[in-house]
């Protein structure tokens, strides 16, 4: 996907990764801290979604609106 350099310094970067994701996006967000992901939705993934709903773990569902990557360098001057 396209990215922009908001500070025009050649070092900062914002890139849209995904928008209005799917059930697959939810399970991949839920597994992000374990550095795991799925390529296609499986029965195991559907069970994970049901578990998240049942136990009110809502943060993976919030991530499907959009995901972005941000990179920048900060310089402190005296």
> Which of 1-5, 46-50, 60-64, 67-71 has the lowest average pLDDT?
67-71
Global pTM value:
0.58
pLDDT (tens digit, 9 = 90+) per residue, 6-60?
A: 888 888 888 877 777 789 999 999 998 888 889 999 999 999 999 999 999 988 9
Phi–psi pair at 68, nearest 5 degrees = -135, 155
Q: List Cβ<8 Å contacts ≥24 apart for 4-13.
A: 7/72, 9/73, 11/71, 11/72, 11/73, 12/71, 12/72, 12/73, 13/69, 13/70, 13/71, 13/72
> Does the structure show a pLDDT above 50 at 78?
no
What residue spans define the domains of the chain?
Answer: 21-70
Q: What is the mean pLDDT of residues 64-76?
A: 67
Per-residue pLDDT band for 76 (boundaries 50, 70, 90) equals: very low
């Amino acid at each position: 996907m396209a990215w922009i350099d908001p500070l025009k310094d050649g070092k900062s970067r914002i890139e849209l990764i995904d928008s209005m994701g799917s059930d697959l996006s939810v399970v991949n967000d839920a597994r992000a801290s374990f550095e795991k992901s799925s390529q296609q939705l499986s029965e195991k993934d559907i069970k994970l979604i049901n578990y998240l709903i049942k136990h009110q773990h809502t943060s993976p569902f919030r991530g499907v609106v959009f995901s972005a990557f941000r990179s920048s360098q900060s310089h402190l001057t005296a």
